[in-house]
Amino acid sequence: MDVAIAQRPVRLDRRYLPVVGTLVVLGLMLTVGGTRYDNFLSPAVLSNLLINNAHLLVLAVGMTFVILTGGIDLSVGAVLALSSVVTASLLQAGWPAAVVLPLAVLVGSVIGLAMGVMVHVFGVQPFVATLAGMFFARGLCFLIAPESIPIRDEAFVSLASLSLYSGPWRVTAGVLVALVVVALAWWVLHLTQLGRTVYAIGGSEQSALLMGLHVARTKVLVYVISGTCAGIAGLQFAMFSRSGYALTGVAMELDAIAAVVIGGTLLTGGTGFVLGSALGVLVLGLIQTIITFEGTLSSWWTKIVIGVLLLVFVVLQRALSLRKT
Amino acid sequence: MSARVGTVVKHHLFWPLAALVALLVACTIKRPAFLRVSVLDDHLFGAPIDILRNSAPLLLVALGMTLVIATRGIDLSVGAVVAIAGAVALTFIASSPDPDSLGTVVGAIFVALGLCLVLGVWNGFLVSVLGIQPIIATLILMTAGRGIAMLITGGMITTVNSPPFKTLGSGFWLGLPVAALVAYGVFVVVAVVVRRTALGMLLEAVGINPAASRLSGVRARTLVWTVYAASGLFAGLAGLIFASNTMAADANNAGLFIELDAILAVVIGGTALSGGKFNLSGTLAGVLVITTLSLTVTVLGVSPLVTPLFKALVVIAVTLLQSPALRARLRRRRPGSPAPRVEQPAENPAQEVHA
């Protein structure tokens, strides 16, 4: 009893340590950017940071659920493209936006459900099942429309160009959606039975099963959640680009996974926070912003910097987990 | 006899080979002369030869991937390594005073392969020494690798004109494509080394239970390190073949998604991603299925852009057919399988003998 009490504060610290690390990096980047460049910390730049990464934020939220159970979802980039292509082509065919929007999200949920069933019922490895999902969604995109479709539907365009101003700060519909998704995910993960089950499965599936938790239902459900998030992100991307194109979101699943890892979630599952993933997305977005501000650096430095940052975080996490055992 | 049919169906090569035959039959129906091989300009010519040549890079990458997966790992960085190998070799040739000389080309190949070996060793270091999960350890190079390739080519698509280098990708020797000879040669050498020595068994031991294998004296760390180095080297070789095929180093698109195709080939071949038992023959079958699939899609007149859809269908079909859960379920529904056979002897099996 005494030992448990004595250890408690230390253990809590450790759990939050990766997220604190992400926060420190974010703070450092903001400080460095703010001192190096004029206008870096202006509301316009920071608003754009959210606007440009709203879809990635939603993808990372879905990915967090899957990774927390110890799985992985490689299909999100392709499902995002599929959702945006479905939206654009149905709107072009004259369907009302009120029908198209839920339908596009539903496409993501259905693909997620199929992958979840493959993973849980048929025992296919998450990597392979979602890889198949990725190829399936990408192929379907090209089957529907090989070239980019512009969106001209009035209701959709007015929704896409909706901007709320609060002084110099600007928020679009896409950002609002992303914030709602993050808040919902936080609520589900930390305050509901489903969320506890997700963490329990990631900790040890066997134990979760023996505890009588709904392992089967939850394992399928996390892929449905991720697919749904990818569907929503597809809508956001369609609003952002006002078009649907089969080649959008190539390798975006890697950005989402990188954001989740940088946000302090372990790929083995069981530990991590959705707010950490959100911070991870902001870090990735800030790298892009800084490289744009620097001007002389070529775009490929983004990839190298993300790689280095991933390395630092992974080695840091490894050192932390080694010290624990 | 039904037991023998059962063993054939259960053999790990059955479903991949069935898929391969189905694809070839589909092509032959659409184009009757599909499987014909003729001699043209002193070398063999025809769709089967094309399949052999096109499969060369994927075979090399999948070979390394099989070994890595056997140790319970995965190497996501191979696509980036492919791009880096091409970028290094072509930049080396382009910047040399004499791009046509054999010496330059050999030098370029050595420099490129050397760098790829170093990249493989780096992955192996992260996994075996630092103990980072393979999927993230290689994700780092996967993300940064294409950036590095861009850095080497300066963001441009480097093109060169060097006949000796071109031979690697599109030349012929003894009537067969050089690329295929190189890839299949490496494959045979590795298969012999792995299966005729204890190496393969040791790799499986590491994959099945790393702790137990270490306790019984297997040098797990060295083995794991070696397979990642080998995977990097083979990916580099594949990158050289790619670059030689197009004579251009495209840092963005060379080897794009080849890691996924290689993993698919391994999975189609019946090696589980959970590590342990692996079979190189299955990987070969998987590589041929994937290469033939791309050709089939073109022969059938479907847009090559839709190829991923067919790939997905093949993967879903093969992985579901191989899944123990589905097999158990089918067995339960079907009478005349192991359990009931004891109660009703010889009736059904006897009919199958004559059929």
Average pLDDT over residues A209-238: 93
CB nearest to B130's CB, from A138, A254, A318: A318
Query: Residue B317 corresponds to which tokens in the numbers above?
Result: 């079909």
Angle in degrees, 0-180, between the axes of helices B199-208 and B47-70, rounded to the nearest 10: 60
Could you count the other beta carbons within 10 Å of the beta carbon of residue A93? 8
Residues of B in contact with A74 (CB under 8 A): 260
Nearest Cα of chain B lies from the Cα of A221 at a distance, in angstroms, of: 20
Q: Is pLDDT above 60 for A110?
A: yes
ipTM of the complex: 0.80
CB A313 within 8 A of CB A272: no
Distance, CA of A17 to CA of B288 (rounded, Å): 48
Considering only CB atoms, which chain B residues are within 8 Å of A124? 319-320, 323
What's residue B4's pLDDT?
A: 66
Q: At what angle do helices B280-299 and B178-196 cross, to 10 degrees?
A: 150
- Asked if pLDDT for residue A274 goes beyond 90, the answer is yes
- Per-residue confidence (pLDDT) for residue B344, from 0 to 100: 39
Collapsing DSSP states into helix, strand and coil, what is residue A93?
coil
Residue of chain B nearest A126, judged by CA positions: B273
| pLDDT of amino acid B3 | 62
Q: Give the pLDDT mean for A138-146.
A: 89
Residue A19's pLDDT band (cuts 50, 70, 90): confident
pLDDT at B173: 82
- Residue A325: is its pLDDT beyond 60? no
Residue boundaries of the structural domains of chain B: 16-22+47-334
Using the predicted structure, report yes or no on whether residue A149 has a pLDDT greater than 80: yes
A167-203 pLDDT per residue, tens:
788 888 899 999 999 999 999 999 999 999 999 999 8
Rounded-to-integer distance, Cα B230 and Cα B218, Å: 19
Please state which CATH number belongs to domain A40-324: 1.10.3470
- Taking CA atoms, A51 is separated from A61, A250, B224, in Å, by 16, 19, 43
Check: CB of residue A168 under 8 Å from CB of residue A45.
no
Whole-number pLDDT of residue B353: 37
Question: Which residues make Cβ contacts (< 8 Å) with residue A281, sequence separation at least 6?
Answer: A53, A56, A57, A60, A259, A263
**Using the beta-carbon criterion (under 8 Å), do A139 and B274 form an inter-chain contact?**
no
3-state secondary structure chain B: CHHHHHHHHHCCCHHHHHHHHHHHHHHHHHCHHHHCCEEECCEEECHHHHHHHHHHHHHHHHHHHHHHHHCCCCCCCHHHHHHHHHHHHHHHHHHCCCCCCHHHHHHHHHHHHHHHHHHHHHHHHHHHHCCCCHHHHHHHHHHHHHHHHHHHHCCCCEECCCHHHHHHHHCEECCEEHHHHHHHHHHHHHHHHHHHCCHHHHHHHHHHCHHHHHHCCCCHHHHHHHHHHHHHHHHHHHHHHHHHHHCEECCCCCCCCHHHHHHHHHHHCCCCCCCCCCCHHHHHHHHHHHHHHHHHHHHCCCCHHHHHHHHHHHHHHHHHHHCHHHHHHHHHHCCCCHHHHCCCCCHHHHHHHHC
pLDDT band at A159 (very low <50, low <70, confident <90, very high): confident
Burial degree of A323 (CB within 10 A; 0-12, 13-18, 19+):
exposed
Where does the pLDDT of residue A87 fall: very low under 50, low under 70, confident under 90, or very high at 90 and above? very high
A133: distance to nearest CA of chain B, Å?
Answer: 7
Give chain A's mean pLDDT.
Answer: 88
pLDDT value, residue B354: 40
Sort B319 into a burial class: Cβ within 10 Å, 0-12 / 13-18 / 19+. buried
Nearest to B248 by CA among B154, B143, B141, B166: B166
Ranges assigned E (strand) in chain A: 149-150, 163-166, 169-172, 243-244
Lowest mean pLDDT among A78-82, A149-153, B165-169: B165-169
pLDDT score of B168: 81
Q: pLDDT band at residue A12, thresholds of 50, 70 and 90?
A: low
pLDDT above 90 covers what percent of chain A?
44
How many angstroms separate the CA atoms of B95 and B103, rounded?
A: 14
Q: Is B150 on the interface with A (CB under 8 A)?
A: yes
Q: For position A2, what pLDDT does the model report?
A: 46
Rounded-to-integer distance, Cα B170 and Cα B54, Å: 10
B263 lies within 8 A of chain A by CB:
yes
CB contact under 8 A, B326 and A136: no
Which stretches of chain B score pLDDT less than 50?
336-355
Of B151, B264, B319, the CB nearest to A124: B319
CA distance A179 to chain B (A): 27
pLDDT of the residue at B350 = 37
* Chain B CB contacts of A142 below 8 Å: 303, 305-306, 308-309
> Which of B123, B126, B140 to mutate to probe the A interface, most A CBs <10 Å?
B140
Q: Give the C-alpha distances (Å, rounded to integers) separating B292 from B34, B298, B344.
A: 12, 10, 44
Question: Which amino acid type is present at position A258?
Answer: A
- Dist. CA A214–CA A220, nearest whole Å: 10
Q: What average pLDDT does range A110-130 have in this prediction?
A: 91
Binned at pLDDT 50, 70 and 90, residue A64 comes out as: very high
